[in-house]
Structure 1
Amino acid sequence: MPPVLPLLFALSVSAAPSAERAVLVDIHTADAAEVDALKRGRGVHWWLELGDRLLLAGEMTAESSLPRSTPVLGELSDLRLDELALRAVGCNEQADPPGELLARGGRWQLRRLAAGEALPHRADAHEQWRAVRPNEVIARQYRLDAPAGEPPDPAVQEVVDRLDTQRWFADLTELASWDRSSFGTTGLFAARDWIGQQFADLGLEVETPDFQMPDADGGSITRQNVIGRWTGAAFPDEWIVVGAHYDSRNQSFSSVNDTPGAEDNASGCAGVIEMARALLPSQPQRTIVFMCYAGEEQGLYGSQAHVDALQAAGDLDKVKAVIVMDMIGYSANSRLNADYESYSQTYLNRFGAAAATYAPELDVVLSLNPFGSDHVPYLDAGKQAALGIESDYDAYPYYHDSGDTPDHIGPHAQAMGGAILKTNAAVLAELAGTSAVTDRVFADGFD
């Protein structure tokens, strides 16, 4: 299955009076000047940037309005702006959502609704819809705006070099051996205890705080997050949170069996453990809170519980940055792509710059339109938080499926996971203050 669905435009028989023509082009190899020229091209009335896709609408056709070398994915003869909608896709994927899928970018789908069909108003942890605004960047490739690359920092490179993708994949495989639905107990609790033991073996202070969440029948159940805390000797009251959810699901929202969740999200949870292994020998100066959440698939309950607990304890102001990983191993082909999203462009640029220096094999797309994973409760609380996720997650054939097993993640798993881990570990090393980088981080400050 391809990593993204290209344009699914269908030519219409007739055009409404206010309809326009539109062209979708592939800009993944274009430079910033070329993208800007396309937006200002002849006949273009408005545009929409979707990562490596650019929609151009107006009085135009591919033949008459675009440079001959522009990779055109499709044309639409009668596009109406009021028929377009943007849909963010979370954990509760609908089999048949409204409208026709036109393109994807930055974890958002561009869909064309039927004539007269109202914009859906669902907005929760699983799904969100909104209207399209002309001349908007939904997601943008970092390389389009990247400054000249910085040489590697030796202290950061040392952390990155400690990452072991074979060890990470072995941990992923171990976690996928348990059914980890948050509605279950046996497998989820075994995974909880195993994660706690990995943290303890690294010398971290381990906690498994309780939180309440709804059960499948509308009652209430108690589940636990797993926290491994490193207290920074120099700056103990400045905290960096590194998190991922350890629960899983399959096609059935409430099933407690056949929920291996290798990609979603044993990959991210194993990534938290591997980043701890890579960072701790450098004796980070700030406090690092490594944690794995339960209850994500049902509505971000574990991460929200952590934010609530921080608020109640008066510790929320101590959190200076958050890094969340959700689905980091699958790639449909050898081209490695990752989406990073937050409300802070400055913070996102750290990840783009880190990838350019420490994981140049990774193409990074940045989005200021975050949605639907464990970074959201922190963002809602005003914290600097970012999600890293591989870009092909919703094209993964076993997404939310009982077949989400380690053998199905594919031949590029270690390369994909390794590239995201190198990027995240580099940012973490900079933020955490590892000897040589401590003074520079303080000079730059937190966003």
Structure 2
Amino acid sequence: MRTLLLMGATLALSTTAMAQNANYGPPSEAAHLYDIAVAPSADRIRADIQTLVDFGTRHTLSETESDTRGIGAARRWIHAEFEKISAECGGCLEVIYVSDTISGERRIPEPTDVVSVLAIQRGTMDPNRYVMMSGDIDSRVTDPLNGASDSPGANDNASGMAGAIEAARVLSKYKFPGSIIYAGLSGEEQGLFGGEIVAAHALEQGWEIKGVLNNDMISNISGVDGVIDNSTARVFSEGTRFVETEVEARSRRFTGGEVDSPSRNLARYVKAQADQYMTNLNVMMIYRLDRFGRGGHHRPFNQVGIPGVRIMETHEHYDRQHQDLRTEDGIVYGDTMEGVDEHYAAKLTALNAVTLAGMAGAPPFPSDVKIEGAVRPSAKMTWQAPEKSENLAGYRVHWRYTTEPEWTHSRYIGNVNEWTFDNLVIDNYFFGVSAVAKDGSETPVVFPGAAGRF
């Protein structure tokens, strides 16, 4: 009798669980992301930054034959490090070089091979959907054509490169439905050529890159403005898509979307991941493509329609950027290890890792998102669901006042492909939709129309 009672209780619990699964949404958080958020090692990151610094210079025009100095030695070490990580996870990374020869440019006058290193962690269900974390291999001093002088580039940008390597160490221990690319890009200081070459390669291969997280300077906490800050990061993103057509721009003028490009909603996603899974880190979204009048390696991806953001420190120290190593009037110039805070770099690496894992763990993104509701009391949104997605639980709809910087309201609605927002007048709000996995992983919010298309 006792056995029968236990079996009956088990059956009742199973029936209850099935009812709950039918009537309630998936988890609102992916529990494994809490572990990922604390996994990056500050010590390993500092050691990798030091190794990159010890190559003397990583200038794009520097030595390529030596095993101990110059960008050639640096990129071969990065390739070997990715291969080592791959060996530890049973060959889970495909490590490749992507390169082209550049010449006749202001900062690359003579033919020069610009070589980037990519480590690709293939997804288990949706391998052609990618999210990328990038750092820069190269460094420079005051003269952008000086490939001979020592150019340690500790913070700019050995820190971002070390972060990408460490993210690979952490995330290669997991499997995800989507693919992740860990990238070391070259030629950034000479004109963003590495990103341009890799973006072109991605298009040629038909890769569906849903987001690029460009990390450029993630280890400095002491600003030239005198502020010391180890708990804030900046995320830069473009407001409207660079590839927007004239027809799409006209539509956006009447329906909205100036601050809802996929890159901008990717930035919101980064901030939301930090708020949910991390402590003592505030993400400051900057509504600008990059720093005023300056550029970074997410821009070449934006220029071909791939969403991308720049993640970096909040208070820069210009005496440590693009400087010959020297002391003048008591001021020490140069980008050396003295300006590196590895614990802050580990924190920003963790920010990348939870973002990469969240996006790679999510189902396919909603596509062909549309909305209607002019002169009506309610707004109706529709989208296309994928033909096959083993990890899709359903969808979450989002809305906010048009002046709000972040999505303020949401509701899980199940596995449907349309929703009517009763008594929400379309004129007064912005709307979006995200796809939710069975384990709680979720895509960024997709804004309706061409303005928000990922």
Amino acid at match of 2:37: V
Query: Are the structure 2 counterparts of residues 311 and 218 from structure 1 closer, same or farther at C-alpha, using a change threshold of 3 Å?
Result: same
Distance (Å, rounded) in 1 between the aligned partners of 2:28 and 2:338: 36
SS at match of 1:191: helix
Name the Cα RMSD after superposition. 2.4
Amino acid at match of 1:307: A
Q: Quote the residue 2:63 is aligned against.
A: 185
The answer (yes or no) to whether the contact 1:245–1:293 under 8 Å persists in 2 is yes
Distance (Å, rounded) in 2 between the aligned partners of 1:382 and 1:416: 31
1:158 corresponds, among 35, 40, 43, to 35
Do residues 383 (structure 1) and 313 (structure 2) align? no
Q: Quote the residue 1:198 is aligned against.
A: 81
Q: Quote the residue 1:348 is aligned against.
A: 267
Q: Quote the residue 2:415 is aligned against.
A: none
Q: Quote the residue 2:174 is aligned against.
A: 282
1:304 corresponds, among 196, 209, 221, to 196
1:331 corresponds, among 200, 206, 221, to 221
Number of equivalenced pairs? 293
1:431 corresponds, among 343, 359, 365, to 359
Q: How many angstroms does 1:191 deviate by?
A: 0.4
Q: How many angstroms does 1:170 deviate by?
A: 0.7
Distance (Å, rounded) in 2 between the aligned partners of 1:244 and 1:350: 20
SS at match of 2:322: coil
Q: Quote the residue 1:400 is aligned against.
A: 322
Query: Are the structure 2 counterparts of residues 336 and 400 from structure 1 closer, same or farther at C-alpha, using a change threshold of 3 Å?
Result: farther
Amino acid at match of 2:235: Y
Distance (Å, rounded) in 2 between the aligned partners of 1:327 and 1:239: 23
The answer (yes or no) to whether the contact 2:235–2:286 under 8 Å persists in 1 is yes
Query: Are the structure 2 counterparts of residues 402 and 174 from structure 1 closer, same or farther at C-alpha, using a change threshold of 3 Å?
Result: farther
Q: Quote the residue 2:279 is aligned against.
A: 360
The answer (yes or no) to whether the contact 1:361–1:419 under 8 Å persists in 2 is no
Do residues 239 (structure 1) and 130 (structure 2) align? yes
Q: Quote the residue 1:228 is aligned against.
A: 119
Describe the superposition over 1:258-298 as per-residue Cα deviations: whole angstroms up to 9, x where unpaired: 11100000000000001111111111221111111110001
Distance (Å, rounded) in 1 between the aligned partners of 2:130 and 2:229: 36
The answer (yes or no) to whether the contact 1:430–1:438 under 8 Å persists in 2 is no
Amino acid at match of 1:426: V
Amino acid at match of 2:82: F
Amino acid at match of 1:184: S
Describe the superposition over 1:369-391 as per-residue Cα deviations: whole angstroms up to 9, x where unpaired: 11311100111112221110102
Amino acid at match of 1:224: V
The answer (yes or no) to whether the contact 1:213–1:220 under 8 Å persists in 2 is yes
Length-normalised TM-score, structure 1: 0.61
SS at match of 1:373: coil
Q: Quote the residue 1:38 is aligned against.
A: none
Q: Quote the residue 2:186 is aligned against.
A: 294
The answer (yes or no) to whether the contact 1:176–1:405 under 8 Å persists in 2 is no
Distance (Å, rounded) in 1 between the aligned partners of 2:170 and 2:211: 18
Amino acid at match of 1:288: I
Moved over 6 A (4+): 434-437
Describe the superposition over 1:33-56 as per-residue Cα deviations: whole angstroms up to 9, x where unpaired: xxxxxxxxxxxxxxxxxxxxxxxx
The answer (yes or no) to whether the contact 2:53–2:154 under 8 Å persists in 1 is yes
* Structure 2 runs not aligned, ≥5 long: 1-26, 65-69, 87-92, 223-227, 239-262, 326-333, 363-390, 394-435, 447-453
The answer (yes or no) to whether the contact 1:176–1:266 under 8 Å persists in 2 is yes
The answer (yes or no) to whether the contact 1:172–1:406 under 8 Å persists in 2 is no
Q: Quote the residue 2:349 is aligned against.
A: 421
Amino acid at match of 2:216: D
SS at match of 2:189: coil
Larger radius of gyration: 2
Amino acid at match of 1:205: E
Length-normalised TM-score, structure 2: 0.60
Query: Are the structure 2 counterparts of residues 441 and 381 from structure 1 closer, same or farther at C-alpha, using a change threshold of 3 Å?
Result: farther
Q: Quote the residue 2:99 is aligned against.
A: 210
